[in-house]
Amino acid sequence: MLIKDDDGKLLMLIKGASELILETCDSLIDMKSGKISKIGEAEKEEIKKNIEKFASMSLRTIGIGYATGVNYDKTKKDANGVLECESRGITFIGILGIMDVIRPEVPKAVEDCRIAGIEVKMVTGDNKITARAIAKTCGIITTEETGEFAEY
């Protein structure tokens, strides 16, 4: 999202997969003090640990950040097709954790399928850790199952 202030300067707000947003950030804001500081490897590792913690709780994580004074040029993209202004120089704001509540009837439906000999598969775009936690909650995998998820 782009917001233009009264002086014509652009503020870009960005959100997306928390791991990807984090990689674009070179600074972070302390939401209590408003102070912006450089983000180092130690801070990035701590944020990654929190992303994993949220994901293990079946939370989908969304990273949020911003940049000011952006040169928003739709023609300048990196090798992955991402706008250059969205690929670097972002200030990290934080992580949001969102949970899609599992309908109460889902675990029983999964169990009924197993009893009937039907192998249940889950297709998702979630982070692997989130997907595994949701699959356990639904009964698609058990705590003993540790197999890798297929990626497409």
Q: What average pLDDT score do residues 13-33 get?
A: 92
The token pair that represents 124 in the structure block: 């998702």
Q: What per-residue confidence (pLDDT) applies to 117? A: 94
**What is the per-residue burial (b if ≥16 Cβ within 10 Å, else e) of 1-12?**
eeeeeeeeeeeb
Q: What per-residue confidence (pLDDT) applies to 97? A: 93
Least confident window among 1-10, 56-65, 104-113: 1-10
Q: What per-residue confidence (pLDDT) applies to 143? A: 67
Q: Is residue 152 scored above 50 in pLDDT?
A: no
Q: What average pLDDT score do residues 97-123 get?
A: 92
Q: What average pLDDT score do residues 99-111 get?
A: 91
State the number of CA atoms in the 13 A half-sphere of 90 facing the CB: 25
Provide CATH code, domain 2-98.
3.40.1110.10
Which residues of the chain form CATH 3.40.1110.10? 2-98
The band of 18, judged by pLDDT with boundaries at 50, 70 and 90, is: very high
Q: Is residue 71 scored above 80 in pLDDT?
A: no
